[in-house]
Amino acid sequence: MVAYHQGDYETARGLFEACLRSCREHGVTDHAADSLNRLGDLARLAGDVDRAQALYGESLALWQSVHGRPGIASALHKLGQTARRKGDFAEARRLLAESLGLQNEIGNKQGVVECLVALSGVALERVPPERGVELLAASEAQLDGLGAPLAPADYADFERDLAHGKASLSAEAWATAHQKGRSLGVAEALALALAGPPARPTESEAVAGSMPAGSGLSPRETEVAALIAQGLSNREIAAGLVISEKTAANHVEHIMAKLNLRSRAQIAVWAVRHGLAPAI
């Protein structure tokens, strides 16, 4: 990890490969999964996106075998990054939203910000450049506040996104959007990033988009949908509404069933489209 963060990628690759061999020999699944994740990062940095995707997929499978939720969330995030590099923005958004849901549930603030950074890059390809720059600036502000660096592979993508955003606007427009974006909170920025129009709308999103606000939902379920759009986890929703976390989870399941949705990200999109949260 030291070699990786110092930019000595050849040394890092050799050490991660040696670690992976040893972990496989001795059945140390979690460290094997982590090594695969880092080797995927190194493949991304080398421009081999297909190999990176394969390594992240293998890492995800190992983490799932031991029910390691932090590792699953990380692998999903990395797979979202590779999908984005391959131009499949709808799949990238789906994977990142799934990772974000797990990061919220386990209370990993750094993971939440990493998802915001990646989702901002996806949004840059799908929304007006001013909004894309706002989201990138919000990501930048959250990283500054967090005080923890991105992994080198993720930072390289973020730098490319920043350069792309800056090149898309005049100096004055960029400065205005950048200033506005840095004032956004993480929940508001996530709601805006998730609310971008999908490149290829799924059937359930199309159904949700045609329904009147709150259709079929109880007042409490409508309230929960709005809180999901603000990026709140079940635990945070439960605390805010003074209900149990299990009750909050039940509300989420009922919302998905009534609106024919499959994820928290789709609930967030539905809530924004129907005026329950800040709109783009």
Task: Please state the pTM of the whole predicted model.
Answer: 0.72
Instruction: Write out pLDDT tens, residues 75-123.
Output: 999 999 999 999 998 899 889 989 988 898 888 999 999 999 999 999 8
Give the span between the Cα atoms of 26 and 240, in whole angstroms.
46
Of 244, 212, 248, give the one whose Cα is nearest residue 227.
Answer: 248
Q: How far is 229 from 182, CA to CA, in rounded Å?
A: 20
Q: How confident is the model at residue 203, as a pLDDT?
A: 38
CA dihedral 246, 99, 92, 126 (to 10 degrees): 70
pLDDT at 14 over 50: yes
Whats the size of the chain, residue-wise? 280
203-273 carries CATH number 1.10.10.10: yes
Q: How far apart are the C-alpha atoms of 162 and 13, rounded to whole Å?
A: 27
Name the residue with tokens 């920025």.
189
Tokens, residue 18: 């040696």
Predicted confidence at residue 211, as pLDDT, reads 41
- Say if residues 213 and 275 touch (Cβ distance below 8 Å): yes
Percent of the chain with pLDDT over 90: 56
Per mean pLDDT, which range of 29-33, 46-50, 62-66, 88-92 is the poorest? 88-92
Mean pLDDT, to the nearest integer, of 264-280?
Answer: 73
Instruction: Give the least confident one: 126-130, 150-154, 175-179.
Output: 126-130
pLDDT at 101: 87
Give me the amino acid identity at 202: T
In this model, does residue 199 exceed pLDDT 90?
no
The domain limits of the chain are: 99-197, 203-273
